[in-house]
Structure 1
């Protein structure tokens, strides 16, 4: 049975809006259907989704599969993702891998795809309900948020937290799970007065900077910052630094991209929780190959793991330093 090898030398995939990028492979094994995989990401500009797309493309090429990549035009573009699914169905794909912008925003389109016999796997972001797709291959975002919260709590020592929370896109399961996991890890309940301010930034650096600047107009009495992802952390740092607050807060994030690991090494924030989009992509492609060959579908939630990256380790928490992080950023452990 054919199995895709782990990600080799990646080739850039340039997909914008609903532009299709195909990578044509060889024919399927005798008796099996041609593997035709469609990938739909939230955007084609966020480096995280670029890496996921590149890894999926490379794995598909190595598997001899046809591959098409589409994306929403911005974070939260549900209509763009619905159009992308419809486009892929017209192309005759037998598997769709999707990172849904909203946990509920594309469910009707997914249902139509599954009704047509297409295997649908959520990557990175779970749907609600989870069984709207055949399987989810992703980071356990509650666990990742909990690790960030536990790190910030430990780094504060005996000092009670005074916290800003820079959230992601409202309605996204990733945003909700990371937010709730962080609060569990730091030991706070939603609405606790220790949370001095919170605002959604949609995972965007410029928006995060503006939102944190707005929060700072209300109070500068803080010592901790939660950020949903690394672009948000860079934006928060840009807002804090001119006020002399960047060195006074413990800030964590989640992503584990190479730029984010360098941010930690350079002191922009204290820690990030690395996830592994290449592993998500490779396992998604492997499932597509298995489905085309045998008709076997994966099911349930498949956790691809997460690791705390910091050069300021804290007692009682497993972590890796930025040297390790730069060797593994967004790849396989």
Structure 2
């Protein structure tokens, strides 16, 4: 009896079938093993920011993600609910260390994190401070905040000319080193008595006719400025800790019909702040670079994972004075440059 062979249908070779199946299984096993080995060798880096809505920290996260992708690292991220939320940062430090992070980058909300930082460091985790310094960090990648203050102080002094200074100081909140450094840098740049760059004590003189805390936000900046105008309606210079506080100060001045006669200076260099500078609401701002802070931090984390070599000390990530109008004797860039380098929505 003959066997009919259907056109196009192949007779199965049982031995060949098993050989192909075995080869496929072996290749799959090798692929899985290689993937597992890669995952084990892949550097794990954590990034903890203060909030997830502030454009400064959004840009920082973008920089970390881009550098991690470029370097083949795994990036874990976490954030506090608001500025000052140390509880969330402590939890994130513990969780990231437990998940295998060998380097954690953090914008500290306060010294309450230090015991947990020491705990994870004892397990071999490198902890790098971004933007905000704190005791015990292996390194700090940040703007020179004292210099940022000096630049806007010099600008305000030159822009004011020979007029007697009546200055409102709209600060962050007591005890924060970045706030103190910017404040004291401004004082020094303006030519007034100031504490040194590392001091956490705010300085004041006869020229500083009012001061208020803003927590770095617009609503509190407006309230602080309104209070200052009640104390002294002749204020002609306003130092602000950051651009949201500056926007609040401008709103208060405009409401009082005094916005055209007052020099507002600030620090940050976010896109909205640079736009406000271009519009004349802010006279000048010191621009900092959060993307650079984070990308350099991730690169340092990858290096530590590969070689065991930790980074140490302070790494200056740069600052540039962006001004609406240039003044004699003070080096600055225009707002076009500021918009090219800013962070946030353009």
2:73 to 65, 72, 76: 65
Is residue 116 from structure 1 mapped to residue 123 from structure 2 by the alignment? yes
Aligned twin of 2:171: 167
Comparing 293-302 with 61-70, which one deviates more in the overlay? 61-70
The CA distance in 2 between the partners of 1:49 and 1:92, in whole Å, is: 23
Comparing 303-312 with 31-40, which one deviates more in the overlay? 31-40
Q: State whether residues 52 and 58 of structure 2, in contact with CA within 8 Å, keep that contact through their aligned partners in structure 1.
A: yes
SS of equivalent residue, structure 2 residue 331: coil
Q: Which runs of 4+ in 1 moved over 3 A?
A: 26-33
1:310 to 323, 326, 338: 323
The CA distance in 1 between the partners of 2:212 and 2:113, in whole Å, is: 25
Aligned twin of 2:26: none
1:52 to 46, 60, 78: 60
The CA distance in 2 between the partners of 1:248 and 1:311, in whole Å, is: 15
Comparing 46-55 with 300-309, which one deviates more in the overlay? 46-55
2:148 to 134, 140, 144: 144
Q: Which runs of 5+ in 1 are unaligned?
A: 1-25
Aligned twin of 1:257: 270
Superposition pairs of residues 109-258 of structure 1, within 5 angstroms? 109-127=116-134, 129=135, 132-189=136-193, 190-258=203-271
Tell me how large the CA RMSD over aligned residues is. 1.9
Aligned twin of 1:43: 51
Shift of 1:92: 1.6
Per-residue CA shift, 1:195-228, capped at 9, x if unaligned? 1111111111111111211222222111000001
Which one has the bigger helix percentage? 2
Q: Which runs of 5+ in 2 are unaligned?
A: 1-33, 194-202
- Which structure's CA Rg is the greater one? 2
State TM-score, norm by structure 2: 0.84
The alpha-carbon distance between structure 1 residues 27 and 260, as it changes in their structure 2 partners (threshold 3 A), is farther
The alpha-carbon distance between structure 1 residues 30 and 78, as it changes in their structure 2 partners (threshold 3 A), is closer
